[in-house]
Every structure is written in C-alpha cells, then in structure tokens.
Structure 1
Amino acid sequence: MGQLLSHPIEDKTIDYHTRQTLAYCVGTMQGYRMSMEDAHDVKVNEDESLAVFGVFDGHGGKQCSEYLSEHLPRAIFRTLNNWHKALVGIPGAKPIELSQYMTSIKNAFFHIDHELSSMPHLLNCGSTGIVTTIIRDRYIIVANTGDSRCILSVDGVPKTLSFDHKPILMNERIRVENSNGYVLNNRINEILALSRAFGDFTFKAPYIDNTKNKYILQNRKYFKHDLVHLPPELFQVTVEPEILVYDLHQTTPEFIVVACDGIWDCYKNTKIVQIIRDKLALGWKLNKIVEFILQDCLMMANNYTGIGFDNMTLIIIAVHSNSNIDEWYEHMKAKVLREKNLL
C-alpha cells in the first residue's frame, strides 16, 4: 500500500460546470496518501458536439499522470474536433465512421506513451488512463488502460464501459508469460499489480530472448533469431487501450461515472448508481453528490481490507441534449420517486 499519512487530507477540489447539452462535476481528494498522484482533464468544444474526459491514476510519482492529463485528452480532442470542423458547411458530407474514431483514440494512447519513453525523469513511474469521449447523439467511446473505470446508468442499471486490467486475468497473463514475464501474488514479476499502463518501461522491453521462452520454443520454425522483436501490444505491460462503445442512437444514459480505482475499491457499480439516483431524488446537485461520495469513501477506510486509503478522483456527467440541466434534475427526481412509489 505504500506510506500513508496518520490523518487524511480531506480538502476537496470540486469543479462543477453546466452547459447547454451536458453538465459535469469533477471531484478530487488526496486522502491518506503522502501526495496526490491522480490527474484529470476535460475538453468540450464550442457547440458541445464533442467532449473528452480523462482520468489518470499515477503510481511511483505524479509526473506521469500529470503529463498524461496535459497531453492525452488534448491530443484526442484536437484530432476529433478538427474532423468535425472539416465537415461543417459541406452539403451531404458523410459522418465520421466509428472505426476512425476508435483508431485515432488508440493511436493517441500509443503516441503519448512513446513520448513518455524519451523522458528519463518519467522512466520509473507509471499511470493508468481512461478517456471517455462523447460524440453528441452518436456515441460514447471509452478507451481504458489499467483499472480506472467508466460506467453508465441506464434506467438505474449500471452498464460497464471498461474492464480492469489485472495480471490474474487469463488473456493478460498469457501476454505477460509469452513476453518472458511471470505472475506471482497477483503481480507481474511480483512487482506491478496492473497489466496495462502508461510508463512502467522496465516492463516494456522491445526484445525477448527466445531461448528462454516456452511459446517460441514450441513454435521454433517461425522464429529464426535469438532475440525476437515485440510490438508494443505484446509487451509484458502494454499501453494498448481496450475500447468499448455505447450507441446513443438507442437511448441516452441517465448519467456517466468516470473514476479512479480509489472510488471503485469502495463502491460496486450497482451501489454508486443507487447512491447517485437516491441523492438526485432528494434534489441534490452533482457537486453535492460528488462531495458526499468522496467523503463517504474516506469514511470507509479499513486497515484490514485496505480500501479507502487511496487518492480519489470522480467525474459524474449528465447528458441532457433535449432539455436544460434544471429540467434534467426535475426529470431524474420524479423518475426515481415514481420507481419508489413516492410520487
């Protein structure tokens, strides 16, 4: 768990914004950690057709997560926003394909990680990264590397839009072992508890010795050299994001939650959706709900389970394209009360 403070730093940064078609609130808190290693960023274009939300949970220092917050959402936003601008005023222009969005976002992850590799002061730290991109009335695209998480609430039911990348998962473990690594005590080489991350370059050697690799020895005829070059997708710890898409043509979710693992250690997906909806039924705004959840996580701190001691970063997003934010609050309040037979 690392070094902890004897008393938590409970100061919270709450950043609440309401716009014409969406509202969001970002909350952060250092908690019991010696320093704040989380970082985040939000980018929204002028007509709100594109919004990018990024959460980054650093380990081994804050330098990596801070670099990501400054560069990754901006890179994704700049590329996609330029595409949108290029289509404005072109009669009959075809909309951008989903595959183009996904490829561009994935390439941005690889590009930023490559930039990090050339910075000596960042070689010994790493960070998770989750980026939620909202293309209005079309898609929610979530690209995740690590164990931060994004979920949606659809009529009170949590819809998972990311999966945690842990070494004990079979597909992750196979990649680790095929690149001459091993998993012990749920950690790669007994060190790292994540199987995908930015940075952590000691786990990203571009070559492996095929004389020690069981997979290569079993398929020797395909490998003719003693050192085999690995693409970054096959590193022991890869930065390759897993991308999941929610189609907004079907229905608009009630809200979106993006958070680091410090939140998800304390809350299951179903529980956090329930808490948010219950507070909306009481007439609470997003900023008050975010502050409550951060404080509640802190109150859950438990020496036996280890939960509640991490840095906390939480974003709640409400997409209300067909109404203003006040109407959305009233709609959510009435909806939850009706479900509880209180209205």
Structure 2
Amino acid sequence: MGQTLSEPVIDKHSTTGGDERYLYGASAMQGWRISMEDAHTTLLKLGPNGESAFLLSTTATVARRRPILGEKAYSSGYYEDAIKSGFLSADAHLREKPEMTNDSSGCTAVGVLLTKDGTAYCGNAGDSRCIISSKGRAIALSTTTSPRTKLSSTASHRANNSSLPAEKQVVTAHPDVIKHTITADDEFIVVACDGIWDCMTNQQVAQFVHAKVVEGKKLDQICEDMMDRCLASESELGGVGCDNMTVVIVAILNGKTEEEWYAHVKNVAEETNMKSSPTLKKDYERNFEVSDLDIDADGTTSAIIKQALQSDEEEAAGVDIRADALEGNVAAAAAAAVAKKSEDN
C-alpha cells in the first residue's frame, strides 16, 4: 500500500465540462497517501475527427502526454491499434527518463476513447477500471488482470524476457482493449482508480451514481461523495480506503439536454430500485470466520484476496469474507477465500 499520513488529505480537485454529446465530472483526492500519484485527463475534443477521451493514470507523464493522438493508426481510424501502440509509446517515454532508471514502482493506466459514430474503446493496463451503466446494469469496459497490473518500469523490463513481444510479457504496458457500441440504453461511463475499486464493485459504483442523482447531485459532486464514501476512517485497515482516489463520470446524453439526462437517470434509479446508496464491499458483514487463521508474515497472499473480491463473479461464487479480515487481516482472508472456493468447487 505504501506509507500513510497521520491524517488524510481530503481536499478535492474537481472539474466539470460538456458538449452536445457528453457531460463529465471529475475529482481527485490524495487521501491517506503521503503524495498524490494519480493524474487524469478529460478531452471533449481529442482530434480532427471529433473523438472524446478520458484517461486516468498513476503517473502524470502518461495522463498528460496524450500518446494515442500521435499514433498513425489513430489518424487512420484504427483506434484499437492506436490505443495499444499509444500505451507502449508512453511506456517507452517513461523508460527514457533518467529519474525512472531505478524506479521499480511502475504505474497503471486506463482510458476510454469515444468516437463520433458512438463507439467506446477502453484500454487498460493494471488495476484501475472502467464501467458503463446500461439501464442501471454495470457492464465492464476493462479487465483487471494479474500479475499484469503495472505499466512497465525499467526494472520490470529487466525482469521480463526481452525476446518476447510486449503482449506476451508477464509485466507489460500492453493494454487489454474492449470495444462497446453505445446504445440508447447506455447512461454513463465511470473511469476510476483502484482506490475506488478496492472498496466498491462495478454494480455498487453504478448504483451509487444513480442514488446520488436521485438526491439531486451533479456529476462532480457525485465523484467527491464517492471518494468520501470509500475513504477509510483510519489508516490501519490493511490499505482498503487508504489509497489515492480519482473518479471520472461521463454522462452519455444520447440527444438529451442536461436536465433531461438527469431526469432519465433518476427514472432508471426508481425503476431498478437503486434510489439509495449501496452497502459497500468493505462494509459487508461476512459469515465466514477467519480470525483464528494465521497471517502470512510477508503478506504474499494479499494479492489473491484483493483480486478475488474486486470481481463480481468471484463474489457471486460464494467467497464469504468478514469485513474485518478484508480490511485488516488481508493475508488470512486470502487463505480463507482460497479454501472456501476449493470447498465450493
């Protein structure tokens, strides 16, 4: 998780914007971490073809460099190829920086490109995530994979087999890209860092946005409320709710005015029983006792439980973990989850 402060920095840096196709709200908060590593970019007009782009990264270099726009594939309309080559180009740029030579931390990045013809291309490398809400149902636009969870650093490249192409490396900047055709049922897109997804599932994020619209909140306010909801009350909770947090919410107008869009999302919330905020993943009272299990001294199993509980499918499979284990005894919870899944199978 990294070092934490004695008190969280809860100042929010929020922005809003919009045009005839999209509205967006974005916000970032340092939280308990000793520095703010997240960076994001919101571009309603990306290039000559009228695309929009929303990018979030755990390094400002990637978020601000706009690597995709300069790719030949982009100007030719091959957006998936442009995203893949753009991520690799950003990685190469990082590795050329002298200050990155001995930096083994790496970074993650997720971005969604919205074309003028109504297609969304989402590229992701790491554990940030992107969803789209369609009639109240969260649809994943990105996949979280392990151990490919860091945009490659110089040290990571040395650890990999350099004779293999980027997409075959164990740790790689080569992104997974998901294509989605936007329909009249699609309401909004959420791009967020792992500080949010550690605490909320895809569907909980979608429900949270709907519930806040019912309360009369605007997109930037919803981003701020989501980060506050995920923020840990103290820093001794195993990292859950202690990370940097960034959220970008993009409203898909589909020909509606701003007022009509908010009214539409409110109606969806009422029709799908999402008028109230969800109980978050980190707050669940689980019925699987893990308090007597040993905790791995080096925490090597913590990644297992983190990956399992970030997945809606894994939760549906019956991985029952108490919230105190999730937040504190993460390694023990991982062992319990593995044992429980083995029993179920």
Query: For each residue in 1:268-317, what CA deviation from the matched residue of structure 2 results, as whole angstroms up to 9, or x when unmatched?
Result: 11111111111112222112211111111114556344201000000010
- TM-score, structure 2 as length reference: 0.72
Correspondence for 2:247 among 314, 327, 332: 314
List runs of 5+ in structure 2 lacking aligned partners.
276-345
Structure of higher CA gyration radius: 1
Question: In 2, Cα distance between the equivalents of 1:341 and 1:151?
Answer: 17
Pairwise CA distance, 1:81: 11
Partner of 2:313: none
Matching residue of 2:97? 119
When structure 1 is superposed on structure 2, of 277-286 and 154-163 the one drifting more is 277-286
Aligned-partner Cα distance in 1 for 2:252–2:55:
17
More strand by share: 1
Amino acid of the residue matched to residue 6 of structure 1? Answer: S
- Following superposition, the deviation at residue 206 of structure 1 comes to 8.4
Q: 1:13 and 2:5 equivalent?
A: no
Structure 2 counterpart SS, 1:103: helix
Distance in 1 (CA, whole Å) between partners of 2:247 and 2:267 is 25
Alpha-carbon distance, 1:49 to partner: 3.5
1:68 maps to which residue?
62
Q: In the alignment, what sits opposite 2:112?
A: 132
SS at 1:5 equivalent: strand
CA distance in 2, matches of 1:207, 1:282: 49
* 5+ residue gaps, structure 1: 58-64, 85-95, 168-194, 209-227
Quote the Cα distance in structure 2 between the aligned partners of 1:308 and 1:133. Answer: 28
> Does the 8 Å contact 2:136/2:268 carry over to 1?
no
Give the corresponding residue for 2:224: 291
- In 1, Cα distance between equivalents of 2:274 and 2:29: 36
Matches within 5 A, 1:1-343: 1-45=1-45, 49-57=50-58, 65-71=59-65, 74-77=66-69, 83=75, 96=77, 100-123=78-101, 124=103, 125-167=105-147, 195-205=148-158, 208=161, 229-248=163-182, 250-299=183-232, 303-340=236-273
The 2-side partners of 1:202 and 1:294 are apart by 32
Mark the CA change 1:269 to 1:339 in structure 2 (over 3 Å): closer, same or farther. closer
2:160 and 2:170 in contact (8 A); partners too:
no
Residues of 2 paired with 1:287 and 1:111: CA distance?
A: 31
Higher relative contact order (CA 8 A, sep 6+): 1
2:248 partner amino acid: I
Question: Which shifted more, 6-15 or 45-54?
Answer: 45-54
Question: How many positions carry a matched residue from both structures?
Answer: 272
CA distance in 1, matches of 2:93, 2:232: 39
Task: Tell me: CA distance 1:341–1:29, structure 2 relative to 1, closer, same or farther (3 Å).
Answer: closer
Deviation at 1:233, TM superposition (A): 2.6
CA contact (8 A) 2:54 2:111 kept: yes
Distance 1:295 1:48, change over 3 A: farther
How large is the RMSD of aligned CA atoms in angstroms? 2.5
Residue type of the alignment partner of 2:81: T
Separation of aligned partners in 2, 1:286 and 1:107? 31
**1:277, 1:41 → 2: CA distance?**
24
Any conservation in 1 of the 2:128–2:194 contact (CA below 8 Å)? yes
* In structure 2, C-alpha distance between the alignment counterparts of 1:29 and 1:48, rounded to whole Å: 33
**CA separation in 1, counterparts of 2:71 and 2:38?**
25
Offset, 1:29: 0.2
Q: Alpha carbons of 1:26 and 1:118: their partners in 2 closer, same or farther (altered >3 Å)?
A: same
In structure 2, how many angstroms separate the alpha carbons of the residues matched to 1:48 and 1:316?
Answer: 23
Q: Which moved more, 1:263-272 or 1:301-310?
A: 301-310
Aligned sequence identity (%): 32
Provide, for residues 220-276 of structure 1, a one-character-per-residue CA deviation record: whole Å limited to 9, x for no partner: xxxxxxxx823233333111100011112x445111000000010111111111111
Give deviations 1:189-229, integer Å, cap 9, x for gaps: xxxxxx24324221213885xxxxxxxxxxxxxxxxxxx82
Indicate if the aligned counterparts of 2:122 and 2:177 stay in contact, CA closer than 8 A. yes
Asked whether the 8 Å contact 1:130–1:143 carries over to 2, the reply is: yes
2:251 and 2:274 mapped to 1: Cα distance? 24
Residues 24-56 of structure 1, C-alpha deviations (whole Å, 9 max, x = no match): 011100000000011111222289931111111
Shift of 1:142: 0.4
**TM-score of the superposed pair, with normalisation by structure 1:** 0.73
CA distance in 1, matches of 2:125, 2:32: 25
The letter of the residue matching 1:244 is: I
